[in-house]
Amino acid sequence: GHTASYAAAATLAGRPKAVRAAASACATNPIPVVVPCHRVIYADGRTGRYRGGPEAKHALLTLEAA
């Protein structure tokens, strides 16, 4: 997989100014296995929040990068 920014996710949803809403939706996603929101990060490279915790998000990104 590839990563995308929260701004890109908001734009894809048709609401380019809704970056905070996109970040919140990804952070509280109740089905992260089905909707892989761990790939959405801040534009500056910070990983942001993840329902499974920051360690899980980092581990998934590291695993997919290999």
**Residue 54, SS3?**
helix
Q: Which of 44, 2, 43, 48 is nearest to 23 (CA)?
A: 48
- Catalytic option among 19, 22, 26, 37: 37
Instruction: Give yes or no for a contact between 58 and 22, defined as CB atoms under 8 angstroms apart.
Output: no
37 counts as catalytic: yes
Residues labelled as active-site residues: 37
